[in-house]
Structure 1
Amino acid sequence: MATAVETHPGDKHEIPEYEAHESSTSLKERIKKHYEIASDYYYSLWGQHIHHGYFKSPTETKEEAQVNLIKYLLGISSLPQGANVLDVGCGIGGTSRYLAKEHACSITGITISGRQVEIAKKLTQAETSPDSTTRNPTDEVNSYSSGGNCRFLELDAEKMLEHFSADGKPAARFDAVWISEALSHFPDKPLFFRSASELLVPGKSSRLVIADWFKAPQLSPEQEKEDIQPIEDGMLLPPLCTADDYVQMAEKAGLVVRQSPIDISSDVAKTWDISWGLVSSPSLWMFAISQGRDGLAFLQAFRAMRRGYANGTFRYAIMCFEKP
């Protein structure tokens, strides 16, 4: 007797043709709209950490693996306890809360999405003031018993230097700038590196900590088209860089390498196997389709990321810099 083969709802829907971004402004508008709509969905499926997991053993849950990634970044950066940290592209604040609670850091989290700020504040208030009678929804800073604290701002990261400056000089200097899986969204990456460099305190204690998605170097046009473009399209990314591109941009901005890129693709790829299983509801695909081509392209990008990791064309790396 033949065994029925289970199919994934994604197999029934087309992969949209690649659509180039009209401009950096329109791309950022699409990114903001995406996170305004999808952030609650992210939280329901991924939990508070909206980033890859670093799997050290086959039995680890995605939540354990996500914390592993934060710990790995702490390890390569030797981030001092109690550091004043700017968490760029903070999402719903999972990493910010971890660094405040477990590392006594003072965190300023910024995201382009107002909805993400709302969720981040709500989750942080619930964690720091579980008694609803002491919770104030207007509080800008929420503190932990460890001494750490968090605040969250709606801010386009490409305007962060302007926001944290006064009279043309940076008014707020940070011990560290932390950015996890957000820089790949930015149209003007050299601007980010220059801004981060300006906002960091000088000296051996300064840190720029990065985890991000990359393409492999020296890909053929066919590999770019088949493996990379569907990821760029669905995940609303400008053209992906290589890890070495980031090093060159950081050094041009006056930063020095503390930890050169470490490729951990094979350790994080399971994230998208799990994610593909999490988006197996037909109703979810119908909702994505109702949001237009970007919704369908986003879910189909999960398939593309799995293929890119399997083919070695899509990469994940972590790295750290400091300001002399």
Structure 2
Amino acid sequence: MIVPDISQDAVAVADHYDELDPVYRRVWGEHVHHGLWTTGRESPAEAVEALVDTVGDRLGLMPGQECVDIGCGYGSTARRLAVTRGVSVTGFTLSAEQAQYAAAHPVAGVDIQVRDWLANGLANSSADAAWAIESSEHMVGKSRFFAEAHRVLVPGGQFVICAWLAETDAGRWKIRHLLEPICREGRLPSMGTREEYEAMAMAAGFEVTGYEDVSRRVARTWPICARRLVKALLVDPEMRRMALRARNRVFVLSIPRLILAYRTGAMRYGIFTLTKAGERGPETGPNTSAEAD
């Protein structure tokens, strides 16, 4: 597990996203996650929606299901899946700014809460499916992250995680100059490997039913973000002010690191499909086990 030399906590994560809210929406839009390219001809907007749709496919979502979006950002994934799959979604974010944006863009069946997932307050076996798109990295207690998902899901429930992962057995140079600074600058308490994620998932009681490394298909996200950021800095005085004065301005340095981390293989991007063991009861709807990769 890669751990930054300056410890991070939920307060630091919330402060990061609240302060940099204008930057995130300017550079990323309302989907604060990677895009997923298949043909290479997709627009950035199509690519980010393709990642969301991939998550919905992995989960095998069915109309009427109760779902949880862990680290929901601006609620865009929750809104898209609620509309396209007919599900209800409870989303959790640490950022009051993100929740305020979500509240201004309501969709029926979507409830966004400002609350730490590690103290989510949901009842046992209350959700049919859950997903976490690039939010597990921000969890202080990753084992608890998995344990809470397992507790909240019904037997047979599906859990999909899209995660930034450290290269297995990354060398000292990659850790010192790429992975550890990315954690520090991005307010990540830690970054795990595929093997560490799977071990934590199984320890929590999940079966690992699928895994796909899509690093090459998401990596172009960061050159696109870099170009957008440079353009914004050139034309927008407020963006320049934030780049110079914001408490979290150091995150700007992570963009070139992320580009290099993907190109060197120091960082990977994985999609995990997990299943909570047990038979789904008839009162919770049909079994929606995703096909293993």
Q: What is the TM-score when the length of structure 2 is the normalising length?
A: 0.88
Instruction: Give CA deviations for 1:283-307 in whole Å, capped at 9, x if unaligned.
Output: 4344222013x31x20110110000
1:158 aligns with 2:158: no
Retained in 1: the 8 A contact 2:134–2:163?
Answer: yes
Q: Structure 1 residue 51 and structure 2 residue 33: aligned?
A: yes
Measure how far apart 1:19 and its partner are. Answer: 6.9
> Is the radius of gyration larger for structure 1 or structure 2?
1
Per the TM alignment, residue 278 of structure 1 is displaced from its structure 2 partner at its CA by: 0.8
- 1:313 is matched with which residue: 266, 275, 283? 266
2:286 corresponds to = none
Structure 1 residue 59: Cα displacement: 2.5
Match 2:82 to one of 77, 93, 100: 100
Residue correspondence of structure 1 range 1-324 to structure 2 within 5 A: 20-22=5-7, 24=8, 27-124=9-106, 142-143=107-108, 149-160=109-120, 163-165=121-123, 170=124, 173-203=126-156, 206-259=157-210, 261-280=211-230, 281-282=233-234, 283=237, 284-292=239-247, 294-295=248-249, 297-324=250-277
Residue identity in the other structure for 1:262: E
For residues 315 and 89 of structure 1, the distance between their equivalents in structure 2, rounded to whole angstroms, comes to 20
- 1:44-86 CA distance string (max 9 Å, x none): 3322211100012232111100011112222233233332111
Q: Is the 8 A contact 1:79 1:207 kept in 2?
A: no
Cα deviation for residue 189 of structure 1 reads: 0.3
**Distance in 1 (alpha carbons) for counterparts of 2:110 and 2:59:** 20
Q: Which has the higher contact order (CA 8 A, sep 6+)?
A: 2
The aligned residue for residue 131 of structure 1 is: none
Matches of 1:155 and 1:287, distance apart in 2: 26
Instruction: Tell me which stretches of 4 or more aligned residues in structure 1 moved more than 6 Å.
Output: none
Q: Distance in 2 between matches of 1:32 and 1:285?
A: 22
**1:279 aligns to what SS in structure 2?**
helix
Please state how far the C-alpha of 1:30 moved relative to its aligned partner.
1.4
- Identity, in percent, stands at 27
Rounded Cα–Cα distance in structure 2 between residues aligned with 1:96 and 1:19: 30
Q: Which runs of 5+ in 2 are unaligned?
A: 278-293
Name the aligned partner's letter for residue 236 of structure 1: R
Backbone CA RMSD of aligned residues? 1.7
Q: Residue 83 and residue 227 in structure 1: after superposition, are their counterparts in 2 closer, same or farther (change >3 A)? A: same
3-state SS, counterpart of residue 123 of structure 1: coil
Letter in 2 for 1:224: I
Query: How many residues align structurally?
Result: 270
